[in-house]
Structure 1
Amino acid sequence: MPDLPDQREERERGGLEQQSEQQRVPPPEAVDDRPGSEARGECGHGADRERQTGCGEGDPPHVVQVDDDEREDDPVAERVDDPAGLDEPDLARQHRVETADVIRRRSHGAANYATRVELEARVATYELAETFVISRDSSDESESVVAELTHEGQTGYGEGTPIERYYEDGASAVEFLHECRGALGGDPFALDDILGALPATPHTQAARAALDHALHDLCGKLTGLPVWRLLGLHRTGPPTCWTVWLGDPDDMARRAEAAAPRFQRLKLKLGGRDGLDLERVRAVRAVTELPLQVDVNEYWSVDEALEALPELAGLGVEYCEQPLPEGDAGGARVKAASPIPIYVDEDCHTLADVAASAERAHGINIKLSKSGGIREAVRMAHAARALGLGVMLGCMTESGLGISAGAQIASLCDFVDLDGNLLLLEDPWPGVEFRDGVQLAPNKPGLGVEPVVSLAAERSDGRS
C-alpha cells in the first residue's frame, strides 16, 4: 500500500537528515518523486534557479534522483532513458528572459545604462520654392537647428526653427544644445528628468524643441514604435491647410486656385495695411469654395478687427488667427464681438500662456518650435480642452523632420497647418506622406523620416 502523504514527508525528511550527516551523493539511478513544486523549491524557478550557486551543474537533464529508500513498487521509473526533448531550447522561457531583459534595460529611471546619450547639433538652411510673405517680413530661405542623439546603436533626430523676433538664431541654438549634454544621462526615456535638468537659458525654445523631438525619435527607434503609438494617439489628424502668402488680391486668388485641387482648406495671410484685406478674401472666395481661414499676424487694430470680422463671416471664413498685436488690451473686447472664432498664435507660446489666452480667444495655435517640443505641446492641448478652447497645430517653414514631429500629435487638434515642408524647394527629410490633403504621420519607428544625405560632414564639431 503506498505511503500516506504525512508518512512520506516524514521519511523524506529523515532521508535528507541522514544524507547531510553522511555527506552522501545519491546514486544517479535514483528518481525523486516528490511533488514538482517541492522539488523545485530547493533552487527556485526558471532563471532564478540558474542564478543560484550550485544549481547550474549536476546530472544530465535526463537523469533525476530520489532517496535510497525508494521502493520497487513506487510508480516512478528508476531511470529515464528518453530525454523527452529536454535538451531542446525552451523557446517560451527564452522569450520570457528576453522580454524581462528589454523591460529591465528600458525601465524609466531604474535602469543603469552603461553608455550615455551622445548629442550633436548643427544648423540647416533650406531654400524656399517661392518667396514667402507675411505682414511683417518676407523670406527666401529658412534656418533650422537639427539635434542628433545616439544611444545603444540608434540615432534620433529632431528639428526646431529659431524665431528671430524672439531673439533666437541657429548659432545660439547650437550653442545651447552643446550646453545640454550634461543633462542627458544614460536613459533617453527619462524625458521629464532630462528636460527638467536643461539650463534655464531664455530664448531657446527652438533648440529645446529639436532636443525634445530627437528624444522622441530615439525612444521610438529603441522600441520599434512610431511616436504617435508611443503617445497612444491616432495616426491621422485633420487635413492641413495650404498657406496663401500675402500679395495683391488677384495674385492671391491665382495661387489659391492652383492649390485648391490638392488641399481641403486654405489659409490666407492678411495684414497688408493697405485697405485691401477684405478684397483679398473676396478674390479668393470667387475662385474656390474650399473652407477658408485667415491669419493677420498681429497687424490689425481693435477698430480694424471689429470692422472686418463681420465681413469675413459673410464670406464664409471659419476663423481668424491673431488679429491684434500680442498682449493688446482690446483682445477680450474683440473676442466678445467677433461672429467667428479668434485663435491666438503670438499670444500663446507655452502651457503657462494657455489660461490667459482664454480671456482673449476661442482657441490657441500650438507651434512646436515655439512651445519647446512635443511634450509641452501635448500638455497645452489638454489644458486648452479643459478650458473649452479650440486647438490648432501650426508650424514654421521647416523640413519633413519638423513636420513629422507635428504630425505625430495632429490627432489632438481641431485644425492643422502643417505645410512647412511643402513650401521648400526640396525637402531633405522625406517620409511624411501627403495624402488627400492630410500630412500623415509615418508608420515607422520614431518620427519615421531619415535624411537624404549623410549628416556626418555637417556636424557642429567637425567630426567625420
Structure 2
Amino acid sequence: MKISDIRLTIVGIPRTTGFVSKHGIVEVLTDEGLTGVGEMSDFSHLPHYSLDTRDLEQNLRELLVGKNPLNMMPIAKELLANFPESLYLYEKGSVVRSGVDMALHDLCAKYMGQSVAELLGGRHEEKIKVCYPIFRHRFMEEVEENLEVVRMQYQKGFDVFRLYVGKNVDADEAFLDRVEQEFGSKVQIKSLDFSNLLDWKESLRVIKRLSRFNFQLIESPAKANDFEGLYQLRVRVDQPVSEHIWSFRQQYEIIKRDALDIFNISPVFLGGITGARKAAAAAEVAGKGCLIGTTQELSIGTAAMAHLGVSLNNLTLVSDPTGPELYAGDVVNQRVQYEKGYLLVPDRNKAGLGIDLDYDLLEKYRVPDLCWANVSVHQLQDRTKTAN
C-alpha cells in the first residue's frame, strides 16, 4: 500500500459563542482505495499568523506521496524534521503533524480491519470521563451567563466543569460561590485553568483566595516554560498541578525538576497520537498520571483522543475533550457521542477512528484559507464573538 495523494480542506465552524474556529481536514489517499481522515484542529489560536493552505498541501504531497503509510514512525520523524517543535503550546507545526498522524492511524487501522484503540494495544474502557469548559470571566456580568451554561450542561449530563480563571478574580470568586450555593456536591470543579497568563506568584495569590472552594487540580499556573516557577508553586499548594505538554524538551525539564503531578496530554500539541503516546509513556515512567487535554476539536479529533485515552494505563483524571458540544456544526455523518458526562469511544466494530466525513457538510463549511483578517488578538485568545 502506498500513499497516492493528500487532500487538505479548510473549514470554518462557528462555536455556540459565535466565534468561528478554522480547522484543516486531512485526507490521505492510497493506491488500494483506502482513505485515512485526520484533523488539524483549531488553527484559530495565537500566534496571530496563518499558513498558506495550498503551499502546505503541496509540501505534504512532496513529503508523503509514494510512502507506505504503515511506516508511521519514520513518517513521524520526517514530519518533525520539516515542521519542528518550537517550545510553544500553539505552534502551527504541531497542529499540521497532528492532522497527518491522525489520518495515518485512521488509515492503518482500516487496513488492518480494527479500531484505532485496538491498533494502539486495546481498550481499558469504552468511555472516558470528561468536563465542560467555562470560559474566562472578563466582566462581572458574565457570571450569570456562565451559570446558565452550567445549568444547561448539567441537564445534558455534564457534572464536572473546568473554569478558566485569572482575568477577573472577583468574577471567578462570585461564580464559584454561586455554583456552590446552587448545586452543592452535585457539580464538581475539575480545575482552575490559568492558561499560562499569570506568573506563578500571581497564580498562587489567586489560588489562596479561591482555596475555600472545592476543585480537583490547578492547571498551567506559571508562564510558559517557567519550569522553576511550576515547581515553586507545586510545593506551596495542596492540590495537584497540571500542565499541557507541548514538546519533549519541555517534558524532560518538568520531570527533571519534579514540577508537575499530572501531565496534560493532547495529540494536537504533540504532533499527533504518536507523540501523545510517547509523552504519556514518559509520564508513566516518571510515576505521573495523565489527562487528555483539548484545543476544542471537531468530532474527528475528539474521536482520536477517545481512542488514545482508553488505551492508556495512566489516564487518572477527568479529561477535557468536549469540543463537538461547543460547535454549531461539524463535518461528519455522526458526531461523537456523550452520555452522562462521558465521551463514548466509537464502536469497536467499526475500523479506524469510527468517524466518516460528510462531504456535503465539508463543502458547506469550506473556507478559502486560514487567514484571520480583522479578528483581534483578544478574540483569538478568549474566543469571544466581538472584541471588548
Same fold (TM over 0.5): yes
1:245 equivalent in alignment to 2:144: no
Preserved CA contact (<8 Å) 2:302 2:321: yes
Preserved CA contact (<8 Å) 1:344 1:357: no
Which of 177, 181, 185 is the aligned partner of 1:282? 177
2:331 matched to which residue of 1?
428
2:8 is paired with a residue whose SS is: strand
Per the TM alignment, residue 456 of structure 1 is displaced from its structure 2 partner at its CA by 7.8
Amino acid at match of 1:380: A
5+ long unaligned stretches in structure 1: 1-112, 132-139
Change (3 A) 1:239 1:368: same
Preserved CA contact (<8 Å) 1:253 1:287: no
1:263 matched to which residue of 2?
158
Change (3 A) 1:304 1:196: closer
Change (3 A) 1:300 1:223: same
Amino acid at match of 2:56: F
What percentage of aligned pairs have identical amino acids?
Answer: 22
Tell me how far apart the structure 1 counterparts of residues 303 and 121 of structure 2 sit (CA, whole Å): 16
Spell out, residue by residue over 1:36-65, the C-alpha distance to the aligned partner (whole angstroms, 9 max, x if none): xxxxxxxxxxxxxxxxxxxxxxxxxxxxxx
1:149 equivalent in alignment to 2:33: no
What aligned pairs does 1:7-406 form with structure 2 within 5 A after superposition?
A: 113=1, 115-131=2-18, 140-151=19-30, 152-161=32-41, 162=43, 164-166=45-47, 169=50, 171-172=51-52, 175-184=55-64, 185-198=66-79, 199-202=81-84, 203-234=92-123, 235-247=125-137, 248-261=142-155, 262-288=157-183, 289=185, 290-292=187-189, 293-328=191-226, 329-345=228-244, 348-358=245-255, 359=257, 360-406=259-305
Change (3 A) 1:318 1:192: same
2:351 is paired with a residue whose SS is: coil
Per the TM alignment, residue 341 of structure 1 is displaced from its structure 2 partner at its CA by 0.9
Per the TM alignment, residue 442 of structure 1 is displaced from its structure 2 partner at its CA by 0.9
Tell me how far apart the structure 2 counterparts of residues 304 and 223 of structure 1 sit (CA, whole Å): 51
Tell me how far apart the structure 2 counterparts of residues 437 and 215 of structure 1 sit (CA, whole Å): 29
Change (3 A) 1:307 1:274: closer
Tell me how far apart the structure 1 counterparts of residues 293 and 33 of structure 2 sit (CA, whole Å): 33
Amino acid at match of 2:7: E
Spell out, residue by residue over 1:104-130, the C-alpha distance to the aligned partner (whole angstroms, 9 max, x if none): xxxxxxxxx4x5432111211101112
Tell me how far apart the structure 2 counterparts of residues 189 and 147 of structure 1 sit (CA, whole Å): 17
Per the TM alignment, residue 155 of structure 1 is displaced from its structure 2 partner at its CA by 1.1
Q: Which has the higher contact order (CA 8 A, sep 6+)?
A: 2
Tell me how far apart the structure 2 counterparts of residues 246 and 188 of structure 1 sit (CA, whole Å): 41
Spell out, residue by residue over 1:322-369, the C-alpha distance to the aligned partner (whole angstroms, 9 max, x if none): 122212352221111011011112xx2033322222333212212222
Tell me how far apart the structure 2 counterparts of residues 376 and 146 of structure 1 sit (CA, whole Å): 19
Per the TM alignment, residue 167 of structure 1 is displaced from its structure 2 partner at its CA by 6.0
Amino acid at match of 1:201: F
Larger CA Rg, structure 1 vs 2 = 1
1:330 is paired with a residue whose SS is: helix
Which of 349, 353, 371 is the aligned partner of 1:447? 353
1:165 is paired with a residue whose SS is: coil
Tell me how far apart the structure 1 counterparts of residues 67 and 293 of structure 2 sit (CA, whole Å): 32
Change (3 A) 1:456 1:144: closer
Per the TM alignment, residue 224 of structure 1 is displaced from its structure 2 partner at its CA by 1.7
Amino acid at match of 2:346: P
Per the TM alignment, residue 252 of structure 1 is displaced from its structure 2 partner at its CA by 2.1
Change (3 A) 1:278 1:233: farther
Spell out, residue by residue over 1:302-323, the C-alpha distance to the aligned partner (whole angstroms, 9 max, x if none): 3332233245443110001112
Amino acid at match of 2:82: A
Preserved CA contact (<8 Å) 2:36 2:107: yes
Spell out, residue by residue over 1:266-319, the C-alpha distance to the aligned partner (whole angstroms, 9 max, x if none): 111212245433332222222222221221212334333223324544311000
Tell me how far apart the structure 2 counterparts of residues 173 and 374 of structure 1 sit (CA, whole Å): 23
5+ long unaligned stretches in structure 2: 85-91, 370-388
Spell out, residue by residue over 1:89-114, the C-alpha distance to the aligned partner (whole angstroms, 9 max, x if none): xxxxxxxxxxxxxxxxxxxxxxxx4x
Tell me how far apart the structure 2 counterparts of residues 389 and 314 of structure 1 sit (CA, whole Å): 26
Tell me how far apart the structure 2 counterparts of residues 273 and 223 of structure 1 sit (CA, whole Å): 51
Change (3 A) 1:435 1:451: same
1:157 is paired with a residue whose SS is: strand
C-alpha RMSD of matched pairs (Å):
2.5
1:197 is paired with a residue whose SS is: helix
1:209 is paired with a residue whose SS is: helix
Which of 306, 315, 320 is the aligned partner of 1:417? 320
2:163 is paired with a residue whose SS is: strand
1:369 is paired with a residue whose SS is: helix
TM normalised by structure 1 equals 0.67
Change (3 A) 1:186 1:330: closer
Preserved CA contact (<8 Å) 1:241 1:264: yes
Change (3 A) 1:459 1:192: farther
